[in-house]
Amino acid sequence: MIRRSSIVERETKETKVKIRIDLDGEGYSEIDTSYPFLDHMLSLFSYHGFFDMEVLAKGDIEVDYHHLVEDVGICLGKALRKALGNKKGIRRYGNCFIPMDETLTQVVIDISGRPLFIFNLFPKVKKESSELEVFKEFFRGFSSHSGIT
């Protein structure tokens, strides 16, 4: 069987990102983005997804995390799309509710090749949060470049 893996690199004026992903791994990750929360979330993504991932990223975080987080999302989307190849053996649709700590999240995906990202929050959530906005851009970049709805 051909290994489903890829490497994607991106360098801009604001960031430098390298992502290696192996979909046939075991959940091992090596993550260094200089943003501890992003590192934590990417490590969990790899661990619970049972795939190996290496993410090395630097950005203009002295300004804010926007460029770094967005570019990591873009590169992760590209890496996943490339690793999936012809998508043989992949179920196109999926959905899940995840209760974790004090949250309940619902995720619905379609690996159709036609990207779409919708981000709905309950009214009580402070939508103006800069950290929340940064992660909206992460998921928008990931969706757009992975071809996942």
Q: Select the more confidently predicted residue: 81 or 107.
A: 81
* C-alpha span between 36 and 40 (Å, rounded): 6
In contact, 118 and 144? CB cutoff 8 Å: no
Query: Beta-carbon neighbour count of residue 102 at 10 Å?
Result: 5
pLDDT tens digits for 106-147?
889 999 999 999 887 665 555 555 677 788 899 999 999 999
CATH topology for 5-146?
Ribosomal Protein S5; domain 2 (3.30.230)
CA-nearest of 119, 116, 115 to 134 is: 119
Q: What is the mean pLDDT of residues 37-66?
A: 94
Residue ranges of the domains in the chain?
Answer: 5-146
At 127 the pLDDT is: 54
62: alpha, beta or left? (left if phi > 0; alpha if psi -120 to 50): alpha
At 124 the pLDDT is: 57
* Residue matched to tokens 């090596």: 30
At 24 the pLDDT is: 94
pTM to 2 decimal places: 0.90
* C-alpha span between 149 and 104 (Å, rounded): 20
In contact, 42 and 68? CB cutoff 8 Å: no
For the CA atoms of 54, 103, 114, 24, what is the dihedral angle to 10 degrees?
Answer: 30
- pLDDT exceeds cutoff 90 at 29: yes
